[in-house]
């Protein structure tokens, strides 16, 4: 691969490998420091030995790459807050039921849930002991609820709660997501139990939040609708918490969700605007240097205001490196620039590697750089308008080819009309962003004419309506696509070899293309073998019963919820995608199930069963029946008692105690998750 001829790319790949090893394998901080120290000594010795030799050896390069791999392991441990002696986990009681006096500062405001407002907080002290670390804070919604802002400091008494793992197979693992953001526990608090300390200390994130609040306060006086204001916040301030689920789904289904996430596209447009506005500085002595410094400062200020997400951090880092290299008149290679930006970001934030936005961002940019020049050369119209739209189309297709495997793996859908939404919106995005920045500045200084505000609101509303129309063309939206991780790597290998073959057709590129096709076929076979399993699943669903019987990738789902509402559809959809199920049939819950020579008895709200009629291996209790569980266990002698989410918590607690006394295994889905019987 020609790309691997660049040393910085090799070193970046080694760093990524080290981060992956350090994350998934428990290597202590002390051991990783020792390994790094030894390798640095070997690297210095290899350099001293080889620098004066006429004939070079590969050992210096090999040791360099191994050293970079060890640095990846080291920075994972170095950034792990649990390795700090003042981390809160070293101070809290072993029993999570004990209340602690906790002082904390609001770090980030999250999108609220159904019953709680959610925040990321920094712990300041526990029982007057100075500590550090992040937690998830849940404040119960109430009519007299407080609205904490970033940097607000509070004191409360509460107990720490463990983060909950997903209760059903193949559901989104929010616990794992928070772990990758160094959040390991959470607090549940009523608003009246919070005491504001009126701290005046400000952080950079707090200053950025105050700026956003000030701008929003000014914009509210210009009568923008809720959806318009939410889109303005997403486009220009990087905040998507207020976007309604309907609008967000429309942009996602139209293949235009990247427009709402401040990323390289937005930063590139802002860079072009800044270059145009600051061009007069070039006529002064050292004007280019001053212009570069101003642009870099403004870009990083914008990144800070938008929240320093993985995508915007990547973009600003890359453009900063480009600006510096251009000013120094050094030749730049876009692959080297991308690798350097990735190297710098991962050294500072190693777990960005697992961030979906970070992965999509780099995949899209690498694909554009690699594929777009080839596509663009296929046709170069002389008409400037045609040329603009043709180049927009080639960039859009290139980016989609780069992100399709990752998108299918995470989101399981593909918007077939992505090119239409991008062809219309992307060429106008420069105007939308430029005009929007002007609106923000004029609103902030109280000189924005209402006519300009009305026009911008009309532009945003028109864009929303167009995206909604694209999203409603459901024939072209391919949903619920199963795409396991093995497909991600094999498809990327296929795309790379196919592009190489199309660019340069010879025996070597054809050989690699055929090898990639063979590897893809092996991946398909491996996936088919590894996912073929028959099982019976008792899912967890609050106030409902859902049973799944999987046989040869065909599932029969029994449930007690209304077909019109499909309240458990997401549970079934996730299971269908995760297990790559071809067919799903819905039925009502039966009283008895035969599962691979074992019997499952279902007892519903009527509590009716025939004592000693047969010996069930499993008894599933649903809908809170008033039964004598002691008598049931004595008469039927089941191996397992299972209580699903349709039962009252008080009943479940009583049944659990009875099973403990009778030495019978008890499983409650609300605590232990779905009950799976392998066949």
CA-to-CA distance for 250 and 471, rounded, in angstroms?
5
pLDDT in tens, 486-513: 999 999 999 999 988 988 888 898 999 9
For the residues of 249-302, what is the DSSP string, one character each? HHHHHTT-GGGGS--HHHHHHHHHHHHHHTGGGGGSTTHHHHHHHHHHHHHHHH
Is 403:367 a contact under the CB 8 Å cutoff? yes
**Are 323 and 226 found together in one domain?**
yes
Give the alpha-carbon dihedral of 608, 614, 619, 621, to 10 degrees: 0
pLDDT category at 328 given cuts 50, 70, 90 is low
pLDDT in tens, 389-426: 888 888 888 888 888 999 899 988 888 887 788 788 87
pLDDT surpasses 90 at 669: yes
**Are 354 and 396 found together in one domain?**
yes
**Are 246 and 380 found together in one domain?**
yes
DSSP E strands, 394-481: 414-415, 477-478
Domain housing 218: 209-478
Average pLDDT, the chain: 86
What is the predicted pLDDT for the residue at 391? 84
Q: Looking at the 3D structure of the chain, how many domains does it have?
A: 5
Tell me which of 25, 60, 79 is where a domain ends: 79
What is the predicted pLDDT for the residue at 675? 93
pLDDT in tens, 508-567: 989 999 999 999 999 999 888 887 678 999 999 988 899 999 988 889 999 887 654 455
Angle at 639 between CA 674 and CA 592, to 5 degrees: 70
**Are 186 and 157 found together in one domain?**
yes
**Are 473 and 492 found together in one domain?**
no
**Are 358 and 264 found together in one domain?**
yes
What is the predicted pLDDT for the residue at 5? 47
**Are 147 and 248 found together in one domain?**
no
Q: Burial, 164: exposed, middle or buried (Cβ in 10 Å; 0-12, 13-18, 19+)?
A: exposed
Backbone angles phi, psi at 159, to 5 degrees: -105, 150
CA-to-CA distance for 645 and 669, rounded, in angstroms?
6
In terms of Cα–Cα distance, which of 508, 523, 517, 491 is closest to 367? Answer: 491
C-beta atoms surrounding 454 within 10 Å: 13
What is the predicted pLDDT for the residue at 64? 87
Is 138:189 a contact under the CB 8 Å cutoff? yes
pLDDT in tens, 59-92: 778 888 899 999 999 999 999 999 888 999 888 7
Is 272:430 a contact under the CB 8 Å cutoff? yes
The residue-averaged pLDDT of 234-244 equals 84
C-alpha 500, offset from chain centre: 31
DSSP E strands, 433-511: 477-478
**Are 432 and 571 found together in one domain?**
no
**Are 526 and 608 found together in one domain?**
no
Under DSSP, the state recorded for 673 is -
pLDDT in tens, 566-581: 556 788 888 999 888 8
CA-to-CA distance for 459 and 227, rounded, in angstroms?
12
**Are 175 and 125 found together in one domain?**
yes
Both tokens assigned to 444? 């902030």
CB hemisphere CA count around 400 (13 angstroms): 20
pTM metric for this prediction: 0.85
**Are 472 and 583 found together in one domain?**
no
Is 333:6 a contact under the CB 8 Å cutoff? yes
Is 599:593 a contact under the CB 8 Å cutoff? yes
Beta strand 618-621 with 598-603 is: parallel
CA-to-CA distance for 89 and 73, rounded, in angstroms?
22
Angle at 134 between CA 129 and CA 140, to 5 degrees: 100
Tell me which of 444, 461, 478 is where a domain ends: 478
CA-to-CA distance for 431 and 444, rounded, in angstroms?
20
């Amino acid at each position: 691969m020609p790309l691997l001829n660049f040393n910085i790319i090799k070193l970046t790949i080694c760093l990524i490998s080290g981060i992956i090893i350090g994350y998934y394998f428990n290597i202590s901080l002390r051991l990783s420091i020792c390994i790094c120290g030894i390798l640095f000594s070997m690297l210095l010795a290899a350099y001293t030995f080889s620098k004066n030799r006429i004939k070079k050896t590969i050992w210096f390069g090999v040791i360099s790459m191994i050293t970079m791999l060890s640095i990846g392991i080291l920075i994972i441990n170095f950034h792990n807050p649990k390795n700090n002696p003042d981390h809160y986990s070293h101070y809290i009681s072993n029993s999570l039921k004990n209340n602690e006096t906790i002082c904390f500062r609001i770090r980030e405001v999250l999108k609220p849930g159904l019953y709680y407002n959610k925040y990321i907080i920094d712990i300041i002290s526990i029982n007057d002991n100075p500590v550090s670390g992040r937690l998830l804070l849940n404040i119960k919604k109430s009519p007299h609820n407080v609205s904490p802002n970033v940097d607000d400091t509070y004191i409360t008494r509460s107990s720490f709660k463990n983060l909950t793992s997903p209760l059903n197979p193949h559901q989104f693992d929010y616990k794992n997501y928070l772990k990758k953001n160094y959040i390991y526990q959470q607090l549940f608090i009523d608003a009246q139990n919070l005491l504001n300390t009126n701290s005046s200390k400000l952080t950079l994130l707090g200053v950025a939040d105050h700026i956003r609040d000030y701008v929003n306060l000014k914009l509210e006086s210009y009568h923008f609708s809720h959806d318009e204001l939410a889109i303005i916040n997403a486009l220009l301030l990087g905040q998507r918490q207020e976007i309604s689920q309907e609008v967000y789904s429309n942009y996602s289904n139209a293949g235009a969700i990247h427009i709402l996430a401040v990323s390289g596209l937005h930063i590139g447009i802002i860079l072009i605007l800044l270059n145009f506005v600051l061009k007069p500085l070039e006529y002064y002595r050292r004007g280019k240097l001053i212009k570069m410094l101003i642009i870099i400062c403004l870009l990083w200020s914008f990144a800070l205001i938008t929240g320093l997400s993985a995508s915007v951090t990547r973009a600003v880092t890359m453009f900063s490196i480009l600006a510096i290299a251009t000013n120094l008149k050094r030749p730049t290679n876009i692959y080297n620039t991308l690798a350097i930006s990735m190297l710098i970001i991962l050294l500072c934030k190693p777990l960005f590697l697992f961030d979906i936005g970070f992965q999509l961002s780099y995949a899209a940019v690498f694909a554009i750089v690699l594929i777009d020049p080839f596509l663009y050369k296929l046709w170069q119209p002389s008409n400037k308008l045609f040329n603009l739209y043709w180049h927009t189309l080639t960039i859009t297709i290139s980016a989609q080819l780069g992100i399709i495997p990752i998108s299918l793996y995470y989101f399981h859908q593909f918007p077939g009309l992505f090119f239409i939404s991008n062809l219309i919106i992307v060429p106008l995005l420069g105007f939308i962003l430029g005009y929007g920045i002007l609106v923000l500045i004029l609103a902030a200084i109280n000189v924005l004419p209402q006519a300009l505000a009305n026009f911008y609101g009309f532009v945003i509303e028109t864009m929303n309506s167009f995206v909604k129309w694209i999203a409603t063309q459901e024939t072209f939206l391919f949903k619920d696509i199963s795409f396991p991780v093995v497909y991600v790597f094999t498809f990327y290998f296929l795309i790379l070899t196919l592009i190489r073959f199309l660019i340069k057709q010879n025996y070597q590129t054809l050989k690699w293309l055929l090898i990639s096709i063979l590897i893809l076929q092996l991946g398909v076979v491996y996936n088919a073998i590894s996912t073929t399993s028959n099982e019976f699943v008792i899912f967890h669903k609050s106030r409902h019963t859902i049973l799944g019987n999987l046989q040869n990738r065909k599932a029969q789902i029994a449930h007690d919820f209304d077909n019109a509402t499909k309240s458990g559809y997401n549970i079934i959809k996730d299971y269908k995608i995760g297990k790559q199920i071809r067919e799903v049939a819905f039925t009502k819950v039966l009283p008895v199930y035969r599962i691979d020579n074992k019997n499952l008895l279902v007892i519903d709200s009527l509590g009716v069963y025939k004592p000693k009629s047969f010996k069930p291996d499993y008894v599933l209790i649903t809908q809170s029946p008033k039964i004598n569980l002691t008598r049931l266990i004595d008469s039927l002698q089941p191996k397992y008692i299972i209580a699903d989410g349709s039962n009252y918590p008080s009943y479940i607690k009583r049944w659990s105690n009875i099973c403990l006394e009778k030495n019978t295994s008890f499983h409650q889905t609300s605590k232990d998750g779905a009950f799976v019987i392998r066949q």
